[in-house]
Amino acid sequence: MLSIELLLTIVFVAVLTFVGLSILGGLRWAAATRKLRRGLQAAQETAGPERFDQRELTGLPEPVQRYFRQVLTVGQPMIRALSVEHSGRFNIGKRGDNWKPFSSGQRVCIRRPGFLWDARVTILAGVAVHVHDAYVAGEGTLHPALMGLLPLGKVQGRGVLAEAELLRFLAEAPCYPTALLPSQGVKWQAVDARSAVATLTDLHARAQRVGIASRHLDANPELVAAYRLPRMLALALCAAQGALERRESRGAHAREDYPARNDRDWLRRTLAWWPVGAATPVLEYEPIRVESMELPPGFRGYGTRNIVEHPATALREAELESIRARLEGAGGAPLQAALLDFRARLPERYRGDNERIADIEEGAPR
C-alpha cells in the first residue's frame, strides 16, 4: 500500500500540474483571442454615413421600410462596433439534454462585417472548454479547446465555413439594426407584402475563391482576369473608401449629404496605400497650397455657387491681380514666370539650359 506521504505527494503534484496547465491554457487562449481581435480591428472600415437618414429607405420593400421606421430614429448614430456579454447554459448533448453553464464576450464590427465570440463552457468543476467562433477578414473560425490547450476539432478558412459564419453575423444583425441598412452593404429583395430577403456579400472573401472554366495553361484570358480580380477590387475599394471619407461634392464627386464644395477642409489629395495583410486600405492626405497655385479654386460656372472657401483663396487672387496689373501687356514667359515660376521650383540639377524654355523666353513662336 502507498504510504500517506507518497499519496500526498502524488496529490500535490497532480494539483500543481492541473493549476499549471490551467494557467498556461489561459495565457495561450488570451493570446489567441488578442490576435483575432487585432485582425477584427484591422478590417474595420471607418468611412460611411455617421447617422441614419430616412432617404436610405427609398426603394426598399414595404415590410423592410416598416421595420426600419419602427426600430430606428432619424438622425440616430450608425452603429460601428459593439461588445456584448452573455451568460447562461449551453447544451453540449448530441442526442439529449446536457446543459452546462457558460459565459462569453462578443465583439462585433459592422463594416467590414465581422465578429469574435469568446466563450467558456464549464464541463466539470474547474474544467472548462474555451470556444472561439469568429468571422474575421473573410475567414471563418470555429475552435473549441479543453482548458484552452487541447483542440477539440479546430476548423478555420474560407468557403463554406466563412459563409456559415457570415450568416451568423446577418442573423444577429437585428440586435443592432443599423447594420441592416443598404449603406452597410445589405441588399433587400421583396418576397411578398409581409416579407423580404436580405443578402450580405463580403466581396473580399468572394474574390479569394473565384473559379474559372477554362483549364488551358497557355493563352487563357479567364486565368488572367481571375488573377487580376483581387487587385482590381483592392483599387476599387481604395477609390470607394476615399469617396466615402471625402465629405464634400467636387466635380463628378457629388454627394447628396454633403452638397457643398469644401475647399477649407478638403482641398487636398487623397493618398491610399494597402499594408500587407491588412483587410482595408489606409488613407492619408496631402494638402494643396493655395498660395502657390497659378489659378486658385473658384466658381466653375455650373450649378449653384455652393462653396466653402479656403482661407487663402482671396489673398492669392488679390496677389495674382496685382501681378497682372504690374505686368500689363507683358504676356508670354515674363507673366508666366511671375505668376508661377516653375523653373525656381525645379531641383538644382534640373535648372540648366532647356531648349524649349530658352525659345519661349526669347519670344519664339509657340
- Return the pLDDT at 104: 95
Mean pLDDT of 298-308: 76
pLDDT digits (tens, 9 = 90+) for 245-278: 888 998 888 888 888 999 999 999 999 987 765 6
Length of the chain: 366
Distance CA 360, CA 366 (A): 7
* pLDDT for res 357: 53
Tell me the H-state helices in 283-354: 313-326, 332-339, 342-345
Q: How far apart (Å, rounded) are the C-alpha atoms in residues 125 and 129?
A: 12
Instruction: Say whether pLDDT at 362 is over 70.
Output: no
- Residue given cell 505527494 in the structure block: 9
pLDDT tens, 7-33?
777 776 777 777 777 888 888 999 999
- Mean pLDDT check: name the lowest of 124-133, 182-191, 256-265, 290-299: 290-299
Number of domains in the chain: 1
- Domain membership flag for residue 241: no
Asked if the structure places residue 207 within a domain, the reply is no
Band (pLDDT 50/70/90 cuts) for residue 363 is low
Residue 360 has pLDDT above 60, yes or no: no
Mean pLDDT of the 181-189 span: 86
Burial class (CB in 10 A: 0-12, 13-18, 19+), 209: exposed
pLDDT for the residue 228: 86
Q: Name which of 106-110, 125-129, 136-140, 201-205 the model is least confident about.
A: 201-205
Yes or no: say if 142 and 155 are a contact pair by the CB < 8 Å rule: yes
* Predicted pLDDT of residue 366: 46
Higher pLDDT, 154 or 105: 105
pLDDT of residue 358: 52
Query: Using one digit for the tens of pLDDT, what is the confidence trace for 316-343?
Result: 888 878 887 887 766 666 777 777 766 7
Could you give the CA distance from residue 277 to residue 321 in angstroms, rounded to a whole number? Answer: 51
**Is 290 within the bounds of a domain?**
no
Residue 161 has pLDDT above 50, yes or no: yes
Mean pLDDT of 343-351: 73
Q: What is the pTM of this model?
A: 0.60
Which residues have C-beta within 8 Å of that of residue 3, sequence separation ≥ 6? none
User: Grid cell 466615402 — which residue?
Assistant: 244
CB 104 within 8 A of CB 118: yes
% of the chain exceeding 70 in pLDDT = 89
Residue 54, domain member (yes or no): yes
* pLDDT reported for residue 361: 52
Position 125 pLDDT exceeds 70: yes
pLDDT above 90 coverage of the chain, percent: 30
- For 55, residues 6+ apart whose C-beta sits below 8 A from its C-beta are 256
Does the structure show a pLDDT above 70 at 205? no
Average pLDDT of span 222-235: 84
Residue 109, all three cell numbers: 464590427
Three cell numbers at 278?
491588412
| 261 in any annotated domain | no
| Structural domain harbouring 182 | 4-200
Residue 60 lies in a domain: yes
For residues 154 and 141, what is the distance between their CA atoms, to the nearest angstrom?
8
Q: Report the amino acid identity of residue 76.
A: Q
pLDDT tens sequence across 111-122: 889 999 999 999
- 22 lies in a domain? yes
Q: How many CB atoms lie within 10 A of CB 202?
A: 22
Tens digits of residue pLDDT in 43-73: 887 767 889 988 888 888 999 999 999 999 9
| Residue 231 resides in a domain | no
> For the segment 272-298, what is each residue's pLDDT rounded down to a tens digit?
987 765 666 788 899 888 877 777 787
